[in-house]
A and B are shown apart, each in its own frame.
Chain A
Amino acid sequence: MAVFADTDELHHVMVDLWTAIQSDAEMAAPLLSSRLIVTFHYREPDGRLTVDCSDGREMVITAGECERKPVVEMFMKSSVAHEFWMGKVNVPMALIQGKIVAKGPVNKALALLPAIKPAYGIYPSIIEKNGLKVSTT
């Protein structure tokens, strides 16, 4: 069974999560200094989230269509995204297995992985707040 019932539910969770990341100075600082624009493309259910750090001061989070051209794009099933934020995805293995597709200068996005690790601790509460189950698929 899919973790997210539909696109709206997926978008709500991801926007809530990134809003929490944005409000955490320690996590936000390296993301803002990267000035990256990353778009996450999800499937099953479909969804799209763009995190725009390009101005270096404010993170702009957009669910759905976004006019800003991303520097890096990541493609994955929504269930893989959920498992990732639960801290249960072995990223190198997921890349080797093709579960995650990364387009653009991948190294720039991978460099930010350590910075967002603390969000693993936040994610279960966001899932619960949105009325979903914390358990992994």
Chain B
Amino acid sequence: MNPFVFHTPTRVYFGEESATSCGDFILELGGSRVLLVSDAFLEKSGMLAPIIESIIAATGNPPLIFTDVPPDSDISCVNRASELARANQCNALVAVGGGSVIDTAKVVNICLTFGGELMDYQGLNIIDRPLLPLVAVPTTAGTGAEVSFVAMVKDHDEGKKLMFGSPFLAPNVAVLDPLLIVSLPARLTAATGIDAVTHGIECFVASGTNSVFTNAICLEALRLLFEFLPQATVDGTNLEARGATLAASCMAGVAFTNSGVGITHALAHSVGAKYATHHGMTNGVLLPHGMRFNLATTAPQYARIARFLNFTSGGSDAEQAQILVDRVENLLKELKLPRTLRELGIPELTADNLKELVDMASSDPAIMFNPKEASDDDLLQLLKGAY
């Protein structure tokens, strides 16, 4: 067995109405003045009300509410939220939302805890001590941001994404409340869910970093996602399906933050950075292509997933691995997700555009974890094939 490291600093609470305990979690962690980070839609929908009530009941103080987080958060948003929090002496954060909201709260937490220049903390493992308490309440089931060690925000002035990575960035508590995702539209349910599927598959084959721990988590997460994601997409009020996808997404998050992802994510990051496409949908388009690229190297692992999911009853590893790829394609069809980059709304890719995408993907940290080395030409062919 290869050496490995596995840890998850985040306590996970799962259950209907668990979000109404947010205040108690904050109090237990020593917080008293809370910055509540969310988005305008969730505020308008009234979904924040019980969380706000719980914070007031536990701490005696109403939280400062910051809901100006865009779908793809950026430095200016982080700075505005940080200033608000500092001006009001906040000493804890609650993030209620999707990946962008939770990532914003993580980066705000860096500013609030350490002060100084945010850029001094850009990178991997720079943050080497605990941050202020952060409770994350995901309202989508896909990103795994509620347990991951990484946060990404855009720097629009420089036209790039900034990455912050450290185990200390992981929220102290993740609250998984299926009631908070029942109103998530079908298309977003599918798109965020396929992100979690991608985490599970890419992490399971991550080169040199995966372990028996992450493998076990990935397999069960994938079982839940293949069974319940279609149900949650068709009937958002199905709480069993909602709960299963929420738990599976969190599990896949725990796995990938310990072992990494791969070529599909590297390409999706580059396409998303250039064309502002939805991260989950982009992963969905690219996942079968990434899997086919890896097939020769990863057939035994893909076959193992296929057997665990009862997709096969025999055959060679290569045959069973191909069945898994087919099942992923069927899942994309069933979820009515885009199947090509063209369907994602990306205009005709010129040679210059392709080169830019390849350059970004080849320097994306996710590519390091891919089990098969990819040349620039490999990446180019994958993008062309996905178009």
Contact = CB atoms under 8 A, between A and B. Distances in A.
Q: Do A and B come from one complex?
A: yes
B207 A92 contact: yes
Contact of B125 (A92, A95, A108, A114): A95
Contacts of A25: none
Nearest to A103: B123
Given A95-B124, A102-B125, A110 B365 contact: yes
A122 interface: no
Contact of B368 (A73, A98, A105, A110): A110
Given A92-B207, A103-B126, A108 B3 contact: no
B260 A92 contact: yes
Interface string B192-212: 000000000000001111000
Contact of B365 (A97, A101, A104, A107): A107
B165 to A, nearest CB: 8
Interface in B1-41: 3-5
A102 B363 contact: no
Given A107-B163, A110-B363, A110-B365, A93 B123 contact: no
Nearest to A113: B368
Interface in B188-234: 206-209
A90 interface: yes
A100 interface: yes
B260 A102 contact: no
* Chain B interface residue number, banded: 20 to 34
Nearest to B155: A105
B141 to A, nearest CB: 25
Interface in A68-92: 72-73, 90-92
A106 B163 contact: yes
A16 B268 CA distance: 39
**Could you say which of A91, A93, A113 has the most chain B C-beta atoms within 10 Å of its C-beta?**
A93
Contact of A92 (B126, B163, B208, B364): B208
A29 to B, nearest CB: 15
B293 interface: no
A96 B258 contact: yes
Contact of A101 (B125, B160, B162, B209): B125
A111 B379 CA distance: 14
B302 interface: no
B126 A101 contact: yes
A110 B162 CA distance: 15
A108 B369 contact: no
B266 to A, nearest CB: 10
B237 interface: no
Contacts of B3: 93
Contacts of A110: 363, 365, 368
A130 B208 CA distance: 32
B122 interface: yes
Interface in B135-172: 160, 162-163, 167
A93 B365 CA distance: 12
List the 3 closest A-B pairs by CB distance, nearest first.
Answer: A111-B363, A103-B123, A101-B125
Interface of A: 72-73, 90-93, 95-98, 100-108, 110-111, 113-114
25 contacts: A73-B123, A92-B206, A92-B260, A92-B368, A93-B5, A95-B124, A96-B5, A96-B209, A96-B260, A97-B5, A98-B167, A101-B123, A102-B123, A102-B125, A104-B123, A105-B122, A105-B163, A106-B123, A106-B124, A106-B365, A107-B163, A107-B363, A107-B364, A108-B363, A114-B373
